[in-house]
Structure 1
Amino acid sequence: MLNIPVWKRVLIWGVCALGLLMAMPNLFYNRVEQHNDAVAAIEAQGGEATPDQAAARGLWPSFLPSNLVNLGLDLRGGAHLLAEVQVADVYAGRVDGLWPDVRDGLREERATVGNIRRVDSPRGELRVQISNPQGMGRALEIVRGLAQPVAGLTGFGSSDLEVRAVTEDEFVVSLSSAERQATDERTIQQSLEIIRRRVDEVGTREPTIQRQGEDRILIQVPGLGSAAELKDLIGTTARLTFHPVVGTAESAGADPGPRNAIYPSLDTPGLYYIVQQNPVVTGEDLVDAQPAFDQNGRPAVNFRFNASGGRRFGDFTAQNIGAPFAIVLDEEVISAPVIQSHIPGGSGIITGRFSVEESTQLAVLLRAGALPAEMTFLEERTIGPELGQDSIEAGRIASLIAMGAVLFFMIASYGWFGVIANLALLINVGMMFGLLSLIGATLTLPGIAGIVLTIGMAVDATVLIFERIREELRGGKGPSRAIELGYEKALSAILDSNVTTFITAVILFAIGSGPVRGFAVTLGLGILTSVFTAIFVTRLIIVTWYERRRPKMITV
């Protein structure tokens, strides 16, 4: 006989109420969004609120849930970029950095290998010539001793360097294939993290930053004005270095000399600085950078190094008082001051021809860190908010049409039982939005497609149940027994069909990206809520109705 314990009834209705409560803030989207932004800003300010922030915080009661379904790029408008990371630049930088260690190691064996000279070679290779060919074996042994195990699971047990003789007096050092693969992985992951930190610094909401393929990164930032603005934010490597100045030149084609580099001046067009190639300290040692103003009231950037960087910076300034040094940002000299005195503590200020906006953006870039490699932008799009609003309206209309058609079909096919199924369907949609809000999911156009599909699929389970009840009634079973058997016999078919669809959604989420993932999330959550409402909610409503009416016969 039909019997649902009181505790189970309370639990079912409690779950439904909780899901609908979590979905409720989406009915007041703008108010709740302003409330959330104000709360976040007040927390960042240490709890102090301006009058406008206090007013915005009061738009939504603090005791109610305030999680929202985030709107994706195609619904909110914003910027879209597809970037390719130039991982080959990292190989070249790694190999160039090996030269001092190789040189110092071979100098200790000069009696065996003779004089050492670096010769020109393709990017990503270090070619060294020794004057004593008989010492080639010893030279290779010394350089191979500089190799380290590959850091990564892909190249476990392998060496990071490949050293081979190409002539009787020359050998080449390059990264091994295992180290290149590990370097690619590290470079992409580091780029993803730095891009995410740069985007988060400017307070954007729910950006999509994910890897595509082997060396590409997809960046979508809802609410941003244009793709050009996003490129300005993340497209700069922001590599900050400090170099001793050797001299100046009037053209970029001047010969800087061995182990030197020539960089243009950002302040003075036509002026080029010749600097030592190896920096004294780099931006990797920075721990903080903040926009500020210099003693003349001009925009500048205050910076502070960590302990090791501050020590090197202090030692260098102490030993080179009266000498100029260059502050280089992305191979451009932004300032070349003369060291007036020892600068202890590892802090200083960067001045230049900055606007307030430029100094703020430079501080953001320096705080987030330098990108390990340059990026080439393969695709860029700007989606206006009007287009996003049109997408929302189109999705809303499609959802309402789908919902209306399903509601009409169920009532026309199953009468009073169809009304019960429709009530469960409305609860299902509300719970689905509640789950999306709870996990902070981002809703996109494909996600709306998943919701529309879920609306159609949500009644599949109830159709199976009602058809089984019809069969039992035609077989002569009483109303109570027919309802009970209908749910029991339809359960296996419901679970089989929904489990296989849920597995498909999981696979789409695992191997897909961007729009595919948005579709998979709404589809997967919709399956969970539709199975719950079909098996438990509709049964509870039907049992409650049956207990009150006790009909002698029912028509499905």
Structure 2
Amino acid sequence: MLNRYPLWKNLLILIVLLLGGLYAAPNLYPDDYAIQLTGSRDVYKVDQPLMDKVATALERDGISAKSLELDEKAGLIRFPDGETQLKAKTVISRVVGDDYVVALNLAPTTPDWLTSIGAGPMKLGLDLRGGVHFLLEVDLPKAVSQKLENYASEIKGRLREEKLRYRKLETMEDGSLAVKFPKQEVRDQAVSLLRGEYQEFLLSAEDRDGAFYAVITLTEQAVRDIETYAIKQNLTTLRNRVNELGVAEPLVQRQGRNRIVVQLPGIQDTAAAKKIIGKTATLEFRLEARPGASSARTEVYEFRSELGRKATLEKDVIIKGDNVSNAQASFDENGQPQVNITLDSKGGELMARTTKDAVQRRMAVLFVEDKERTVHKTVDGEPVVEKVRYTEKKIISLATIQSVLGSQFRITGLDGAGESSELALLLRAGALAAPIYFVEERTVGPSLGAQNIETGVTSVQIGLALVLLFMILYYRVFGLLANVALSLNLMLLVAVMSMLSATLTLPGIAGIVLTVGMAVDANVLIFSRIKEELKNGLPPQSAIHAGFKGATTTIFDANITTLLAAVILFAMGTGPVKGFAVTLSVGILTSMFTAILVTRALVNLTYGGRQVTKLSI
């Protein structure tokens, strides 16, 4: 009999719609404004006494929190609105100090029974809500000074290789390097050697205080090249770190001469993002100084995990973290965390060359971090808060070299599995060429996000209402059935976007509005064809069958061409364009399903399998 689906097809459509409703449901539960509290290192634990201390401080300042939650790794404090969240951040930062990361966050409220089946809400883009915005400043003078340190180590090595004896090499206040020689002819040979090998140097010979100096200064072009490289390398490293976090549609771009903007839409764990993005940790590998070595060529460092223990190391750096091509966290045979290191060809060569003559000596691994410390002072009777920048270097491993090391080895002595994983991630993503500091951290203002969401939702509602009204007035019962299918289409669209963890932006909402119009267009083609068949004298049941059958090919052709255009937009576009393309692509697929199968199923249930003399169309 015409216009009746078999039971299995009706059940299949019903199952798809039920699953769609289930996976769209989390979007009915809006996120809470929250603050996430985590330790800046594994040794700083967030425990109940700390959370009680935070709660007392918030209560003292008249700030109301919805709840305080504590798990194994972090504390989470929920607030009723964004304004309260921002006030609370200032209070909590003052209470816990610099040993903890206080990060703005959006905490999900999806019920556990939904999350247990993998259901979650759509991520909202930064132009709506739920992202974090970082403005970072790159310390370009430090990039130049670090490069000079590398040059100093290289120059010492070259002079020793050529057996050109020098007394000392020091960095001057103006940023130049001065090498002191005992004899003029040795100095002149060194100047000739370095001038031929280093085009980025300006070299001059100076005689003072009975000594002979070679003064080495970077050219202006060399300084500009170092600064440009530092910005580009930091951009690459930050993008790699963001990719490791798995953030959808991130934005990492240069702003001005020395600043970088990082926007992470839809991210939940902003504390982890801040720790990973802001971390400037890298490594230095140095030999332990020989007994009786000159203090001018050595430095004393503390151990990171053993308070009070120190070791004397050579100033010369064998390699740094930027020579690491790969790093993986694992555990040794005793279950202790370690990081397996793979060096690039240059790093492997330098390591082999140094350790060849250093078997049975000890080599240290220095953990280097550029940090900021909050200092509270009083100036002219007024309290002033300043950020003081400093570099911290501590030993994480000091082990005896048993044989010549090459491009692969391991480091131990880390504080725990969390730190080994974090260090491996940072090294794998690449070292920062210069320290970066947080100039600004914010989420999109609550009023702006709410206004954008309200405007977007209103546009969808108006577009949907006009379409629904037109369909009912023009196609009557068939229009009503199409409206039901259109509503189900929106539900499926939201469900698929949620399952894909897609990020919804304002352009994405534009794609939804366009989908609403395109979805009903397929129904218009089908219904117009049915009306034509009725005019041609076909009975109602035959007209319905012919209408759906005849319009299906046209609907496929029209939607496939639009889908191809959306795929091209996704492949060639960036950021908002990709967001629009994703929404449009998903919308096309769901609208074809609802317009052809769901609408047909509803029409079958209404008219199919019985005698009909007239259709309300």
What's the TM-score once normalised by structure 1's chain length? 0.59
The 1:392/1:439 distance shift into structure 2, 3 A limit, reads: same
Q: Distance in 1 between matches of 2:489 and 2:521?
A: 13
User: Aligned residue for 1:70?
Assistant: 123
Q: Distance in 1 between matches of 2:592 and 2:554?
A: 12
1:237 aligns with 2:318: no
- Does structure 1 retain, via aligned residues, the 8 Å contact 2:136–2:436? yes
Counterpart amino acid of 2:264?
Q
Match of 1:192 among 211, 222, 239: 239
User: Aligned residue for 2:569?
Assistant: 508
**Alpha-carbon shift at residue 70 of structure 1 (Å):** 1.8
**Alpha-carbon shift at residue 466 of structure 1 (Å):** 0.8
Match of 2:491 among 416, 419, 430: 430
1:473 aligns with 2:473: no
**Alpha-carbon shift at residue 424 of structure 1 (Å):** 0.6
User: Aligned residue for 1:553?
Assistant: 614
User: Aligned residue for 2:2?
Assistant: 2
Pairs within 5 Å for 1:97-176: none
Q: Distance in 1 between matches of 2:266 and 2:150?
A: 40
- Does structure 2 retain, via aligned residues, the 8 Å contact 1:245–1:326? no
Q: Distance in 1 between matches of 2:440 and 2:567?
A: 28
The 1:504/1:420 distance shift into structure 2, 3 A limit, reads: same
SS of equivalent residue, structure 1 residue 194:
helix
User: Aligned residue for 2:450?
Assistant: 389
Q: Distance in 2 between matches of 1:348 and 1:495?
A: 62
Counterpart amino acid of 1:334?
E
Give the superposed CA RMSD: 6.3
- Does structure 2 retain, via aligned residues, the 8 Å contact 1:472–1:486? yes
User: Residue deviations 1:479-508, cap 9 Å, x none?
Assistant: 122222222332233222222221222222
SS of equivalent residue, structure 1 residue 383:
coil
The 1:195/1:91 distance shift into structure 2, 3 A limit, reads: farther
- Does structure 1 retain, via aligned residues, the 8 Å contact 2:128–2:444? no
Q: Distance in 2 between matches of 1:44 and 1:333?
A: 27
**Alpha-carbon shift at residue 526 of structure 1 (Å):** 0.7
Pairs within 5 Å for 1:328-477: 328-330=368-370, 332-334=390-392, 368-369=425-426, 370-372=431-433, 382-477=443-538
- Does structure 1 retain, via aligned residues, the 8 Å contact 2:282–2:367? no
Q: Distance in 2 between matches of 1:18 and 1:325?
A: 53
- Does structure 2 retain, via aligned residues, the 8 Å contact 1:447–1:522? yes
**Alpha-carbon shift at residue 376 of structure 1 (Å):** 9.5
- Does structure 1 retain, via aligned residues, the 8 Å contact 2:138–2:231? no
Q: Distance in 1 between matches of 2:543 and 2:479?
A: 17
**Alpha-carbon shift at residue 83 of structure 1 (Å):** 6.9
The 1:429/1:41 distance shift into structure 2, 3 A limit, reads: farther
The 1:334/1:81 distance shift into structure 2, 3 A limit, reads: closer
Q: Distance in 1 between matches of 2:507 and 2:367?
A: 48
99-108 or 399-408: bigger deviation: 99-108
Counterpart amino acid of 2:537?
G
Q: Distance in 1 between matches of 2:391 and 2:26?
A: 51
SS of equivalent residue, structure 2 residue 264:
strand
- Does structure 2 retain, via aligned residues, the 8 Å contact 1:245–1:325? no
SS of equivalent residue, structure 1 residue 74:
coil
- Does structure 2 retain, via aligned residues, the 8 Å contact 1:206–1:221? yes
**Alpha-carbon shift at residue 397 of structure 1 (Å):** 2.4
Match of 2:263 among 219, 224, 240: 219
**Alpha-carbon shift at residue 517 of structure 1 (Å):** 1.9
Count matched residues. 457
The 1:184/1:437 distance shift into structure 2, 3 A limit, reads: same
Q: Distance in 1 between matches of 2:557 and 2:141?
A: 49
SS of equivalent residue, structure 1 residue 513:
coil
Counterpart amino acid of 1:71?
L
User: Aligned residue for 2:590?
Assistant: 529
Q: Distance in 1 between matches of 2:285 and 2:391?
A: 9
Q: Distance in 2 between matches of 1:72 and 1:446?
A: 10
SS of equivalent residue, structure 2 residue 608:
helix
User: Residue deviations 1:69-110, cap 9 Å, x none?
Assistant: 122223325432477999999999899869978997898799
User: Aligned residue for 1:544?
Assistant: 605
Q: Distance in 1 between matches of 2:275 and 2:111?
A: 36
Pairs within 5 Å for 1:227-306: 234-235=277-278, 237-241=280-284, 278-279=316-317, 282=320
- Does structure 1 retain, via aligned residues, the 8 Å contact 2:123–2:504? yes
The 1:14/1:223 distance shift into structure 2, 3 A limit, reads: closer
- Does structure 1 retain, via aligned residues, the 8 Å contact 2:122–2:502? yes
User: Aligned residue for 1:209?
Assistant: 250
- Does structure 2 retain, via aligned residues, the 8 Å contact 1:473–1:482? yes
The 1:512/1:278 distance shift into structure 2, 3 A limit, reads: farther
User: Aligned residue for 1:497?
Assistant: 558
Q: Distance in 2 between matches of 1:70 and 1:87?
A: 35
User: Aligned residue for 2:18?
Assistant: 17
Q: Distance in 2 between matches of 1:43 and 1:536?
A: 48
User: Aligned residue for 1:52?
Assistant: none
The 1:346/1:240 distance shift into structure 2, 3 A limit, reads: closer
1:486 aligns with 2:547: yes
SS of equivalent residue, structure 1 residue 80:
strand
Unaligned 5+ runs, structure 1 = 46-55, 121-128, 144-161, 167-173, 176-180, 247-256, 262-274, 290-301, 351-360
SS of equivalent residue, structure 1 residue 60:
helix
What's the TM-score once normalised by structure 2's chain length? 0.54
- Does structure 1 retain, via aligned residues, the 8 Å contact 2:126–2:132? yes
Q: Distance in 2 between matches of 1:12 and 1:43?
A: 43
Q: Distance in 2 between matches of 1:225 and 1:445?
A: 23
- Does structure 1 retain, via aligned residues, the 8 Å contact 2:369–2:393? no
- Does structure 2 retain, via aligned residues, the 8 Å contact 1:67–1:438? yes
SS of equivalent residue, structure 1 residue 75:
coil
**Alpha-carbon shift at residue 343 of structure 1 (Å):** 6.3
The 1:507/1:547 distance shift into structure 2, 3 A limit, reads: same
User: Aligned residue for 2:113?
Assistant: 60
% identity of equivalent residues: 35
User: Aligned residue for 2:102?
Assistant: none
The 1:86/1:422 distance shift into structure 2, 3 A limit, reads: farther
User: Aligned residue for 1:157?
Assistant: none
Counterpart amino acid of 1:414?
Y
User: Aligned residue for 1:520?
Assistant: 581
**Alpha-carbon shift at residue 519 of structure 1 (Å):** 1.8
User: Residue deviations 1:287-327, cap 9 Å, x none?
Assistant: 789xxxxxxxxxxxx997658999999x99x9699xx9987
**Alpha-carbon shift at residue 413 of structure 1 (Å):** 0.7
Q: Distance in 2 between matches of 1:456 and 1:22?
A: 24
- Does structure 2 retain, via aligned residues, the 8 Å contact 1:78–1:225? no
Q: Distance in 2 between matches of 1:16 and 1:440?
A: 19
SS of equivalent residue, structure 1 residue 76:
coil
